[in-house]
């Protein structure tokens, strides 16, 4: 496995955690459930055909990525989506989208030039 250099992109860890969290359909579904409002962990777990322990592990991945915040009120654990870390992911995608669009435009111009 490759080691990161000391001058590596400081957002790399945030991106790694964010994209790893979003890689799972279950975790994306959990975020979808939290899009408009908070919910109790037990209520979220009831939606999925998995054990509470399994859903809790998915929630922990989302928490490590900073995409979900937990508030404990007595015995109930409430979750709320916290999409702030999606900003770095969105910026990364925008940079590469721009790069590939420029590359595609340059290729199209080159092909059109050769066709003439």
Q: pTM of this prediction?
A: 0.74
Task: Give the Cα separation of 31 and 22 in Å (integer).
Answer: 9
Task: Catalogue all structural domains in the chain, each as residue range(s) with its CATH number.
Answer: 12-84 (1.10.10.10)
SS3 at position 75 = coil
Task: Give the Cα separation of 13 and 75 in Å (integer).
Answer: 32
Residue 6 has pLDDT above 60, yes or no: no
Q: Measured on CA atoms in the order 22, 18, 86, 64, is the torsion positive or negative?
A: positive
Q: Could you read off the pLDDT of 72-110 as tens digits, one per residue?
A: 999 999 999 998 878 888 888 888 787 677 777 677 777
Residue 113 has pLDDT above 50, yes or no: yes
Higher pLDDT, 68 or 9: 68
Task: List the beta bridge partners of residue 81.
Answer: 68
pLDDT band at 1 (very low <50, low <70, confident <90, very high): very low
Lookup: tokens for 40: 């109790």
Q: Could you read off the pLDDT of 27-76 as tens digits, one per residue?
A: 999 999 999 999 999 999 999 999 999 999 999 999 999 999 999 999 99
């Amino acid at each position: 496995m490759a080691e990161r250099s000391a001058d590596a992109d400081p957002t790399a860890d945030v991106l790694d955690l964010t994209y790893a969290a979003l890689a799972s359909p279950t975790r994306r579904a959990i975020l979808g459930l939290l899009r408009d409002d908070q919910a109790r962990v037990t209520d979220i777990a009831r939606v999925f055909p998995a054990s509470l322990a399994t859903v809790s592990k998915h929630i922990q991945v989302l928490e490590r990525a900073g995409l979900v915040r937990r508030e404990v009120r007595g015995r109930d654990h409430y979750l709320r989506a916290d999409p702030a870390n999606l900003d770095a992911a969105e910026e990364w995608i925008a940079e590469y989208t721009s790069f590939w669009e420029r590359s595609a435009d340059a290729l199209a111009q080159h092909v059109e030039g050769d066709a003439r």
